[in-house]
Amino acid sequence: MRCFLIAANPADFEIHLFHEGTFYKSYQLFGAHMIHENGVMGTRFCVWAPHAQEVRVVGSFNDWNGANHKLTKISDQGVWMLFVPENLEGHLYKYEIVTRNGQVLLKADPYAFYSEVRPNTASIIYNLAGYEWNDRAWQRKKKQKSVYHQPLFIYEVHLGSWKKKEDGRFYTYEELADELIPYVLEHGFTHIELLPVVEHPYDRSWGYQGTGYYSATSRYGTPHDFMAFIDRCHQAGIGVIFDWVPGHFCKDEHGLYMFDGEPTYEYTNMQDRENPVWGTANFDLGKPEVRSFLISNALFWMEYFHIDGFRVDAVANMLYWPNSDALHKNPYAISFLQKLNETVFAHDPTILMIAEDSTDWPKVTAPTYEGGIGFNYKWNMGWMNDILTYMKANPNERKSLHHKVTFSLLYAYSENFILPFSHDEVVHGKKSLLNKMPGDYWQKFAQLRLLYGYLATHPGKKLLFMGGEFGQFDEWKDLEQLDWMLFDFDMHQKMNAYVKALLKFYKRQKSLYELDHSRDGFEWIDVNNAEQSIFSFVRKGKTDSDLLVVICNFTDAVYHNYKVGVPLLTKYKEALNSDDERFGGSGQVNKKEIAAVAEPFHGKPYHISLTIPPFGITILRPMRKRGERSKHAEKEVRRHAARRGKR
């Protein structure tokens, strides 16, 4: 059991660090905590309200009358505190704030650990201690392997609409653990990425407009229930990534907005503060107390909930000042993000810090000591937009868009990239991935299989939004569950079988992930065949034995005896073909071994001839001779023995 000790009274240095912007465990000071003071078990309330004239706590324990529960101002810069000599765990509460102009506001606690189920908005006094974690094996495993050289294929999930009960109610965290974890394991995903689960008032914001940054949403259960969900993910070998929004927040009246009647968490200047399109307010990232609040929040989810990573939303909206036609850099945001990344990596070097950044800002994933922003991954939005533009085009017109496929390899190693097919691409009239594909019913499925194959073989880690794994035909309907009835249809079953086979194959092939971030891991064979819209390339691992030849055909033409240059004079075996009949394809596969010929082609010393399927991806693996295979196996045995000897 993890035990978090809260001192009865805050130390002066904690208050100083908070106002300095460097108190990164501010959640142990602020909020409502059960503590012992002078031998008495009680509840301590602490809140930052720098412009308030008076602060009272009201709740179910005092009939919502704060006359006898006034907080004392213990800091000239607006920290207020009250100790109530009662254990108030489970009670509802809010802060009653009297502004400088005499207005009375009722505000939820910014540091509340638990909140009422919407539409109610009160905070709930909750003790986070006491959960028994059982994920030591997972934590140990994370420290032993570098994520950069491991497979990473993320399943992006919105918990409220992945699956619902017959009466429309949400599944609980416990029920989701029972259903979602086996499903993710069966498909072979390595991580789950959760759309924001901080408390938020409006279902259709999907959590991106939060009010309770320290509250796991009560829609699905208690904070301990959410801990148990993550714990069970870890026990199953699945990492959990938290979609996190440190740039802007919800403007509902009970939340952070104008917390004490004046700009507190947000910028003072209206042009910098407001996001008219989203209806949110931007955090003032230059304000020290806001930095303490946000960086503490990241550490909070890591420490209390064992989160494995953060996908940081709307980074572009932070790096550049909003509401400006010109791209003016925001120095406060830059330094905030750098300090955030430095702090979380100091706390846990294995953490995933993923920037959702749509700009070409340099060195987003470079260390801060090299002048970078300090993330270790960035979504490759350019690749995603280019490849979807290419796929949505009529196949006969793709020859004029050839550069949309090749361009990504010019910058693929400028950052550590994740290739995302996320929720943003299958909502608001954009159509599902399947329905983006042109052509008839069969052609749509064939091209989606091809697209997924290209995703799996392109350098970079991977992300797929829920429903894509079985070919959801309609775009994401955020108020309904996924269209699970599609599993009654043969082509959707076969699409799902293909995704499972593809992920299984991906995780077994070191050449598809070991050198994702190195030019040594990729080599074009034929990059210039725009006329036929066929691309071929080699993916490589750290050793010469880890090598794959990949051929993608983005038209419906079938080719027999098609020549492709190869790097090795050996026999090749077809390891995966998206046109296999078991996946819903037409069966244009290469069943027999394919022998390389000692004749140059495509700039390679040898070549092979094979069948190229329509709208298909073909992946070939060189076959080792028996002696070479034994030598390799012997080398692996020696390597593992040496590793055991070092322990």
Residue 8: the pLDDT is 63
**Predicted structure pTM score:** 0.94
* Structural domains of the chain in order of their starting residue, each with its CATH number: 12-124 (2.60.40.10), 153-382+462-509 (3.20.20.80), 520-629 (2.60.40.1180)
Spatial separation of the C-alpha atoms in residues 273 and 386, rounded to whole Å: 32
Contacts of 369 (CB under 8 A, 6+ apart): none
Residue 322: the pLDDT is 87
Residue 584: the pLDDT is 98
How far lies 543's CA from each of 415, 511, 546, 635, 636, in Å?
23, 9, 6, 11, 11
Spatial separation of the C-alpha atoms in residues 197 and 449, rounded to whole Å: 31
State the DSSP code for 621. Answer: E
Spatial separation of the C-alpha atoms in residues 338 and 353, rounded to whole Å: 11
Spatial separation of the C-alpha atoms in residues 66 and 76, rounded to whole Å: 22
Q: Quick one: angle between helices 136-144 and 223-235, nearest 10?
A: 60
- Residue 277, burial from CB neighbour count under 10 angstroms (0-12, 13-18, 19+): exposed
| 362: preceding bond cis by omega (within 30 degrees) | no
**Tally of CB atoms within 10 A around 276:** 8
The separation between the first and the last C-alpha atoms of the chain, rounded to the nearest angstrom, is 27
Residue 647: the pLDDT is 42
Q: What are phi and psi of 564, to 5 degrees?
A: -135, 130
Contacts of 200 (CB under 8 A, 6+ apart): 118, 207, 208, 209, 210, 211, 212, 217, 250
Spatial separation of the C-alpha atoms in residues 210 and 242, rounded to whole Å: 14
Mapped onto helix, strand or coil, the DSSP state of residue 209 is coil
64 Rama class: left (phi>0) / alpha (psi -120 to 50) / beta: left
Q: At residue 212, what is the residue type?
A: G
Residue reference for tokens 């064992």: 306
Token reading at 388: 């979807």
Residue 519: the pLDDT is 96
Contacts of 534 (CB under 8 A, 6+ apart): 526, 551, 552, 553, 554, 555, 612
Residue 640: the pLDDT is 45
Query: Which parts of the chain register pLDDT below 50?
Result: 1-5, 627, 629-630, 633-634, 636-637, 640-641, 643-647
Q: What are phi and psi of 113, to 5 degrees?
A: -90, -10
How far lies 76's CA from each of 39, 49, 51, 79, 351, in Å?
29, 11, 10, 7, 36
User: Which of 249, 217, 4 lies closest to 112, judged by CA?
Assistant: 217
Residue 63: the pLDDT is 97
State the DSSP code for 568. Answer: S
Please report the DSSP string for 19-71 in residue order: HHT--TTGGGTSEEEEEEETTEEEEEEEEE-TT-SEEEEEETTTTT--TT-BP
Residue 36: the pLDDT is 86
Residue 487: the pLDDT is 98
Spatial separation of the C-alpha atoms in residues 464 and 155, rounded to whole Å: 5
Residues identified as active-site? 313, 356
Please report the DSSP string for 408-461 in residue order: HHHHTTSS-EEEEE-GGGSSTTS--HHHHS-SSHHHHHHHHHHHHHHHHHSSSE
Residue reference for tokens 């501010």: 26
Which residues, in sequence order, are bridge partners of residue 105?
Answer: 97
Residue 644: the pLDDT is 45
